[in-house]
Amino acid sequence: MSDKRKKKSEITALFAASDGEIYDAPGVEALARIDDRIIELEPEDLIPLPETADLMFLPDRKAIGRNADGEIVELDGVAVSAILPAGYTRLFMPAFKKEKNAGMLPLYGYTAVVLYKDELYAAAVYTDENHKWDPAGYNTGSLKKLVKQVKKDLPDNRLVEHLANCSLEWHCLTAQNIFYHRWEAGIPTSPSCNANCLGCISLQPAECCPSPQERISFRPTVEEVASLGTYHLQTAPEAIISFGQGCEGEPSLAADTIAEAIKQIRKKTSNGQININSNAGYTEGIKKIVDAGLDSMRVSIISANDESYSAYYRCSYTLDNVKASIKYALEHGVYISLNMLYFPGFNDREEEAAAWVDFLREYPIQMIQVRNLNIDPDVFASVMPKAKGELLGTKAFINMLADSRPDLVIGNFSHYQGNNHKV
């Protein structure tokens, strides 16, 4: 056996048995998936499983591996996946054989996980460091008490009640930051949306997979938004308030409310940063919010190709509208980052990468935040356009983006910009 073959044979497949326990399969080489292809893993594809990662088994999907004879075989259990914490970008997904009539997987970012060197390893790369989002700093024993205090400080504010539920029931980190009085805190405003994203985390058809968050059901008033925003910016270190959360639709559809709230906030405090997380498809709304004094905008985007963009967002606007919003915001001094939804074997296709290079040259956005797309791999593959070119691989794709714009920041988290707002 060659040294290369021996190293691969040491990358051992895992499976979850009917008793719920996870086992390794000695002598069976682990396999992985990219797009809809089954591939072999290399040692350089693997990192030790992060301490805060979770393991999840994939129901109705048999684990598979390669035996000593080079044959792909089914294992006596279902496939196992790692769910990575923020700051890690997955390279490959778990390989499996889908059973007939298998249900749709919940909305998580499934990552290949194996046994290697007698330890658990994941097919991923470490792409950003930010202690602020360490899960150990959230869901603490003091959270309920802190929630009660903010409710007392801001009585009769429906947003506080909503965010308390997001914090305690859905464990949303940006909601919890309101009550911890720190960093980036979410302020949802819009129950409606102008897109029907394939992997929307706040609203899915009843027959689909359950959403991991509950969408806001009311429209906050200017006073509710302004009082909560002012409260956070005045009390939190490195404070950011962000419109556009997982528990809402598209915030720019509430542009009149947000714009007036920003004006009221800035009359009372010059502290911190005001941000919007948006699909940026409603350009007129974005313009109102920018003109009111927006500091930063994070644009959710999966592709710089029209066909691919439309296939995922299934929206009432076009990619040209998104570009127009970005152009206007850049011209008015807004810091722009892209929330790039990342799926191995899609974004790193030759044609997708080429479109991104053109986009970045035309629109000098400051940052790309790479986010593992939470979705059933088969659902994604069935909807999105098929590859036209070769796959570059995740590492090569990220390096290509970096080389195209040396000033571009590539990571996973929002970076605090300080008091860069217009006064």
**CB within 8 A of 335, min separation 6: which ones?**
295, 296, 297, 366, 367, 417, 420
Residue that wins the pLDDT comparison between 371 and 246: 371
Cα 93 from Cα 121, distance rounded (Å): 13
Would you say residue 145 has pLDDT above 70? yes
Q: What are the residues facing 120 on neighbouring strands?
A: 115
Say which DSSP state 183 is in: S
> Are residues 423 and 266 in contact, defined by beta-carbon separation less than 8 angstroms?
yes
pLDDT value of position 207 = 42
Which range marks the domain in which residue 74 is found? Answer: 10-126
pLDDT value of position 20 = 87
Would you say residue 222 has pLDDT above 70? yes
> Do residue 52 and residue 174 come from a single domain?
no
pLDDT value of position 258 = 97
| CA-based max dimension of the chain | 72
Element (H, E) at 295: none
> Do residue 161 and residue 231 come from a single domain?
yes
Give pLDDT tens digits for 2-26: 455 555 569 999 999 988 899 999 9
Task: Give me the residue label for tokens 């940063």.
Answer: 273
> Which residue among 126, 155, 172 closes a domain?
126
Give pLDDT tens digits for 24-58: 999 999 999 999 899 999 999 999 999 989 999 99
Number of domains, the chain: 2
pLDDT value of position 166 = 92
pLDDT value of position 7 = 56
Any domain includes 385 = yes
Task: Give the dihedral sign, CA 143/149/150/152.
Answer: positive
Cα 339 from Cα 342, distance rounded (Å): 9
pLDDT value of position 213 = 55
Of the candidates 260, 290, 257, the residue with the CA atom closest to the CA atom of residue 276 = 290
Mean pLDDT of 158-174: 93
> Do residue 65 and residue 210 come from a single domain?
no
> Do residue 259 and residue 375 come from a single domain?
yes
pLDDT value of position 1 = 47
Would you say residue 209 has pLDDT above 70? no
**Quick one: tokens of 163?**
């965010």
> Do residue 53 and residue 97 come from a single domain?
yes
Q: Which of 160-174, 187-201, 276-290 has the lowest mean pLDDT?
A: 187-201
Cα angle at 146 between 145 and 149, to 5 degrees? 90
Task: Give me the residue label for tokens 């994939």.
Answer: 58
pLDDT value of position 6 = 54
Give pLDDT tens digits for 102-140: 999 999 999 999 999 999 999 999 988 778 888 889 999
Would you say residue 206 has pLDDT above 50? no
Of the candidates 225, 200, 224, the residue with the CA atom closest to the CA atom of residue 213 = 200
pLDDT value of position 83 = 96
> Do residue 249 and residue 139 come from a single domain?
yes
Provide the terminal-to-terminal Cα distance of the chain, rounded to the nearest Å.
69
> Do residue 88 and residue 204 come from a single domain?
no
Mean pLDDT of 243-265: 93
Q: Which of 187-196, 252-261, 276-285, 311-320 has the lowest mean pLDDT?
A: 187-196
> Do residue 395 and residue 323 come from a single domain?
yes
pLDDT value of position 422 = 41
Would you say residue 340 has pLDDT above 80? yes
> Do residue 331 and residue 205 come from a single domain?
yes
Looking at every residue in the chain, the average pLDDT score rounds to 91
> Which residue among 79, 104, 126 closes a domain?
126
Q: What is the value of pTM for the model shown? A: 0.91
CB atoms within 10 A of CB 144: 12
Would you say residue 201 has pLDDT above 70? no
Any domain includes 420 = no
Give pLDDT tens digits for 362-402: 999 999 999 999 999 999 999 999 999 999 999 999 999 99
Q: Which of 196-200, 228-232, 350-354 has the lowest mean pLDDT?
A: 196-200
pLDDT value of position 412 = 86
> Do residue 150 and residue 111 come from a single domain?
no
Mean pLDDT of 281-308: 97
Mean pLDDT of 245-250: 85
Write the CA distances from 371 to 142, 148, 217, 295, 306, integer angstroms.
30, 33, 27, 22, 20
> Do residue 52 and residue 139 come from a single domain?
no
Element (H, E) at 125: strand 119-126
> Do residue 91 and residue 174 come from a single domain?
no
Written as one letter, the residue type at 177 is: N
Element (H, E) at 288: helix 283-293
pLDDT over 70 percentage in the chain? 93
pLDDT value of position 4 = 55
